[in-house]
Amino acid sequence: MIPSRLFFALLLVFCLPSAHAAAAKPLEVALVATTQYATHDFYTHTTDYTGPDFQNATRIFPGQTVELVLLAKNYEVNAARRAAVLYDLDITYPDGRTQQAGKDLRLSIGPVPEANLFAYASQTASFSTDPGDPLGNYTFAVSVHDRVAGGATLRKTTTIQVVPYVEPVLPADFKPGVWMTSYYLNPSPALALPALFKIAIVIPKNNTDAWPPVLGFYEEVLKANPWLAPVFLERLKNAGEADRTLLLFILGYAWRHDSTFAGLSKGPWPDVDTGELNDPMQVDLLWGRFFATGAFAPVERIVSALHMHRFLGALDRLKASAPTATAPTPEVMRELVLKSAQWSLGRNARGHPLVLRYCSWMLAQKNPDLTFNSLLTAALPEKNSPAPAEKPSVFFPPVGTTTGPSKP
């Protein structure tokens, strides 16, 4: 195991007064090994700290990343209502080897609103095997130390089985659209390759308007699961003409910045990461990213289109000034993007509570652009607005960072 495959934030020196209030209940710890990499977003960008349930992973493939999320409550706090909860992480390999992967990692350091709320560790670890690492069971053990309580320790373990990848057979009732749009709730990258061919049956290749969400989706799935690259490439080597065209179309977009694949996916596809959005296709690509990750960033980027309200009415003005015009102006394109964003936000907020919660969080930030706020409010289903929780179930310590998944 190469040490760089485990990522931790740097620890800071801290000092706490000795006086403290004892917790009413024993220290409670939850350890979750998950392949949902946006768990931090689920809670930090929702007003009531409520997101999809964590999905505990029990099996991964060689090179696949698993994130170890640790939460704790009922820890003691000092007179200033500050906590000092640290943890150590040890790994036992299938061959019996052990490794101390981290010591005195931060779980909760600093002020806390209430000690009976689950604190999401401000330092989390991501693990993936390296070439040559054995298959089998990997056991992750955390020892949580409550320094305010005089070093009281609680130990938790979880086991992940690393198994060889074998392309699964999809069930007869497999619905590729449902699988793709709900993927972030319980990621299943093992299905990515066979599911792609099912998607191609549902969406005709010449229906270019329907493919951008799929392209954005597979870009994120392949980025989060680099172990899938050789799986796709091996299939590409032995593919027939139709399957080869499909694979190059998907890989050509996902790996468009790689000179080997650049230009293989017909385009050029619009850039979605910089500047104002200027093509409705960008909105579809971003929704594909959201379906793959559940991350806040794609939704925030789509919502940003509502700031372009200065272009509202551009199409009517073009018709009035140039009734024979056949090509939309840049101003008209931005109006189309805004309307596409607003419509799709409403539609997806109805089907995805997380989208609604992300949008509600953005509204709670009291953006000074009042027209933006009005457009976003109008996009959301008022009757389905999430009721705020009385108390947050999870909070994030104000000091420290959470790392993303490891990269090969």
Q: What is the pLDDT of residues 179-194, one digit of tens each?
A: 999 999 999 999 999 9
Give the chain's mean pLDDT.
85
The least confident of 17-21, 30-34, 257-261, 391-395 is: 17-21
Q: What is the pLDDT of residues 268-308, one digit of tens each?
A: 678 899 999 999 999 999 999 999 999 999 999 999 999 99
In this prediction, residue 135 has a pLDDT band, given cuts at 50, 70 and 90, of very high
C-alpha 119/C-alpha 107 separation (Å) is 7
In this prediction, residue 401 has a pLDDT band, given cuts at 50, 70 and 90, of very low
C-alpha 39/C-alpha 35 separation (Å) is 9
Three-class SS string for the chain?
Answer: CCHHHCCCCCCCCCCCCCCEECCCCCCEEEEEEECCCCHHHHHHCCCCCCCCCCCCCCEECCCCCEEEEEEEECCCEECCCEEEEEEEEEEECCCCCEEEEEEEEEEEEEECCCCCCEEECCCCEEECCCCCCCCEEEEEEEEEEECCCCCEEEEEEEEEEECCCCCCCCCCCCCHHHHHHCHHHCCCHHHHHHHHHHHHHHCCCCCHHHCHHHHHHHHHHHHHCCCHHHHHHHHHHCCCHHHHHHHHHHHHHHCCCCCCCCCCCCCCCCCCCCCCCCCHHHHHHHHHHHHHHCCHHHHHHHHHHHHHHHHCCHHHHHHHHCCCCCCCCHHHHHHHHHHHHHHHHHHHHHHCHHHHHHHHHHHHCCCCCHHHHHHHHHHCCHHHCCCCCCCCCEECCCCCCCCCCCCC
Tokens describing residue 285 = 């690509």
Per-residue pLDDT at 34 exceeds 80: yes
Domains of the chain with bracketed CATH: 3-165 (2.60.40.3880), 176-384 (no CATH)
In this prediction, residue 140 has a pLDDT band, given cuts at 50, 70 and 90, of very high
CB 243 within 8 A of CB 235: yes
Which one is predicted more confidently, 161 or 401? 161
Model pTM score? 0.87
Strand-pair category, 152-162 with 136-146: antiparallel
The least confident of 112-121, 233-242, 258-267 is: 258-267
Alpha carbon separation from 57 to 79, 118, 159, 365 (Å, rounded): 39, 20, 9, 34
pLDDT given for residue 11 in this prediction? 30
Which residues make beta-bridge pairs with 92? 98, 139
pLDDT given for residue 393 in this prediction? 63
Per-residue pLDDT at 98 exceeds 80: yes
Q: What is the pLDDT of residues 350-385, one digit of tens each?
A: 999 999 999 999 999 989 999 999 999 999 987 555
